[in-house]
Amino acid sequence: MRVLHVHSGNLYGGVETTLVAQARHAHLYPEMHLSFALCFEGRFSKELIDAGMTISWLDQVRIRNPLSVRRARQALNELLQREAFDAIVTHSCWSQAIFGRVVCAAGLPLIFYLHGPAYGRHWLELWARHTQPDMIVCNSRFTAATVPHLYPSVPTEIVYCPVASSKLSHSLADINRIRADLKTPKDATVIIQVSRMEEGKGQTNHLEALSLLKDLPDWICWLVGSPQRSDEKKYLQRLQKMAGRLGIAERVYFLNQSANVGELLAAADIFCQPHTGPESFGIVFIEALYAQLPVVTTGLGGACEIVDDSCGVLVRHHDARALANALQLLIENRSLRRRLGAAGPAKARALSDVSSQMQRLVNCYSKALNGNGKTSGETPGTA
């Protein structure tokens, strides 16, 4: 079964992390051969190549340039004519809108992988609706519940993101070394957030909550994330100024995401991401649970499928006081941190075990290949 994934490739976030994980473990499933067609080079393509994947290059699409869209579609069409694929997977509305019609014209099963909630109002969603896939794969129950806004009658499968636990164990000496490298006292309580530099990830709310804990000694916060676009660079600068204005700049460290995130998680004590809107899933929550960190996050979206009172704390969104109270409880109560952290790995495996989720993907692609619920094509009455 040859499966071609079609994606933009210009950024790196949860979608790309999911696909890299699938690529790294595809060898365990010889019945499934993965290939990728991308529009842009970058970190994502490099990691795919490192994982042994074959990449076909499409044109660098700029939607404001119709000619680039036409060239990219032609490149995909030529690829589908030249090589034999059994199913094509488009990722999120951008790829579905641009390339879905090419796949349908080639008569191949079209699988739409939805990585975030759809509301049917954005112009990309309206464009994507013009082409109906054979099957939709969603990364959470929350995401799946929004599918009817796009495709009310298309069969939908839920596959949690496969996330492997770290095989590396970190000794106390390792942790002390990591902390020393970051000028963090070895006895400090380290709160960590790892995320894109986007306002929706809640860094401002995080800083507001920490400012309420200024009088609480011995905590340090690591905010990990690398800006990828100009607006993200401006947001990072705003966060740095905000930390200074709130009087906590000396206790908040802004770290580049090129750092070894696994090491940082191992050397931290609490994971906190108070996103302001619903997360579709939250791979980083799974990684934090594997690292035996209690997770503090907002009770919205897919996070509610990962975090409960056995392994963390859910708080109201946009409530800095509630977030500060949750953090203070965990900072002051080491035994509670350890109890919640100890439950993390089992919870992470139950949700995102690589072998079980990869097998679910194989089963989904096989269903589409066998024509179960086949409905693809141009939606009647649309252009």
Q: Assess contact for 184 and 308: CB atoms under 8 A.
A: no
Q: 120 and 203, same structural domain?
A: no
Cα gap 249→258, rounded to integer Å: 22
Q: 105 and 221, same structural domain?
A: no
pLDDT at 257: 65
pLDDT in tens, the chain (383 residues): 999 999 999 989 889 999 999 999 998 899 999 999 999 999 999 999 999 999 999 999 999 999 999 999 999 999 999 999 999 999 999 999 999 999 999 999 999 999 999 999 999 999 999 999 999 999 999 999 999 999 999 999 999 999 998 767 789 999 999 999 999 999 999 999 999 999 999 999 999 999 999 999 999 999 999 898 899 999 999 999 999 999 999 999 999 866 689 999 999 999 999 999 999 999 999 999 999 999 999 999 999 999 999 999 999 989 999 999 999 999 999 999 999 999 999 999 999 999 999 999 999 999 988 875 454 454 433 33
Overall domain count for the chain: 2
359: left (phi over 0), alpha (psi -120 to 50) or beta: alpha
Q: Assess contact for 318 and 272: CB atoms under 8 A.
A: no
Q: 207 and 323, same structural domain?
A: yes
* 191 assigned to some structural domain: yes
Residue 268, burial from CB neighbour count under 10 angstroms (0-12, 13-18, 19+) = buried
Strand ranges inside the chain, DSSP E: 2-7, 33-38, 54-57, 87-91, 110-114, 131-132, 135-138, 156-158, 189-194, 219-224, 252-255, 270-273, 295-298, 312-315, 377-378
Q: 266 and 185, same structural domain?
A: yes
Amino acid identity at 13: G
Pairing type for strands 377-378 and 135-138 reads unpaired
Tokens read off for 42:
């970058």
Q: 141 and 46, same structural domain?
A: yes
* 189 assigned to some structural domain: yes
Cα gap 142→117, rounded to integer Å: 7
pLDDT at 13: 87
Q: What is the CATH number of the domain that holds 306?
A: 3.40.50.2000
* 217 assigned to some structural domain: yes
**Which residues are bridge partners to 223 per DSSP?**
193, 254
CB atoms within 10 A of CB 366: 15
* 334 assigned to some structural domain: yes
Q: 127 and 67, same structural domain?
A: yes
Q: 140 and 30, same structural domain?
A: yes
Which is nearest to 86 in space by CA: 375, 370, 382?
A: 370
DSSP, collapsed to helix, strand or coil, labels residue 182 as coil
What is the greatest pairwise CA distance in the chain? 66
Pairing type for strands 377-378 and 131-132 reads antiparallel
Amino acid identity at 383: A
Domain range for 95 is 2-162+353-378
pTM above 0.85, yes or no: yes
Q: 326 and 203, same structural domain?
A: yes
* 167 assigned to some structural domain: no
